[in-house]
């Protein structure tokens, strides 16, 4: 299972939120590039970058941070947040993203998102299936749709999606464990490469996700709060 640390960017800084609430932001480092370098020095190969300003603004904002991380490291980056147009996608790839994650766009403009899968291929486009009470949330998690998360994933699997990042918003940033039953259901009812996100609090959580069959696991606050050390992640990698 791939271990994928997360860097969430707000106003150019590395922050974490609780349950996606912008009012709960906690700044961990003024320089996200410095954090990315620390991850790489610990043997990490992958990085999940979220443009929180972009998610709220509905267009890519922190592309310069993405570009600086790309220039300063050899990490394989998946980038999401605010990707709402062909122009946004082009900027993300030109600034160094290896993959991009689309969530709100997959809900609000299915035709455009499907065209991205067809144009760039399923290795480049990740479906963001972020949910609250099983319902897909959009626009920086500030809005909730009526779409069931498993049905949502099934629909895009039929359109060629292979990679899915699924976050249970109620778990995100809470350090209370992951949504294992939901992930089990997704893996039973689909054949996607599932990347779990939200709630990782310990190495045990990662072992459980691996046993369930997740292809990857995103780790954020557990690293920043010292629940999981980079040394421990280095041993897993």
Catalytic residues: 8, 130
Beta carbons within 10 angstroms of residue 146's beta carbon: 6
Of all helices (H) and strands (E), which one includes residue 157?
Answer: helix 149-157
- The rounded distance, in Å, linking the Cα atoms of 79 and 36 is 13
Lookup: tokens for 57: 């603004």
Find the angle CA(115)-CA(146)-CA(9) to the nearest 5 degrees: 65
Lookup: tokens for 78: 């998946």
- The rounded distance, in Å, linking the Cα atoms of 101 and 75 is 16
> Environment class of residue 235 by beta-carbon count within 10 Å: exposed (0-12), middle (13-18) or buried (19+)?
exposed
Q: Residue 115's Cα: distance from chain center in Å? A: 21
3-class secondary structure, 146: strand
- The residue among 98, 104, 146, 143 whose CA lies nearest residue 127 is 104
């Amino acid at each position: 299972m791939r271990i994928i640390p997360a860097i969430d960017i707000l106003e150019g800084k590395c922050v974490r939120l609780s349950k996606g609430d912008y009012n709960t932001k906690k700044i961990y480092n003024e320089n996200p590039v410095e954090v990315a370098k620390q991850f790489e020095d610990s043997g990490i190969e992958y990085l999940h970058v979220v443009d929180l300003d972009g998610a709220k603004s509905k267009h890519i904002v922190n592309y310069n941070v993405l570009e600086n991380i790309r220039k300063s490291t050899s990490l394989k980056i998946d980038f999401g947040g605010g990707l709402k147009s062909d122009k946004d996608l082009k900027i993300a790839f030109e600034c160094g993203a290896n993959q991009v994650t689309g969530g709100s766009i997959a809900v609000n403009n299915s035709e455009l998102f499907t065209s991205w899968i067809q144009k760039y291929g399923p290795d480049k486009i990740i479906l963001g299936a972020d949910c609250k009470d099983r319902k897909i949330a959009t626009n920086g998690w500030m809005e909730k749709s009526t779409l069931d998360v498993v049905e949502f994933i099934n629909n895009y699997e039929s359109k060629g999606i292979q990679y899915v990042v699924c976050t249970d918003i109620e778990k995100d940033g809470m350090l209370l464990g992951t949504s294992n039953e939901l992930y089990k259901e997704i893996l039973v009812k689909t054949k996607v490469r599932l990347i779990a996100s939200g709630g990782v609090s310990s190495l045990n959580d990662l072992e459980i996700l691996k046993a369930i069959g997740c292809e990857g696991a995103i780790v954020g606050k557990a690293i920043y709060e010292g629940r999981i050390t980079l040394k421990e992640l280095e041993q897993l990698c």
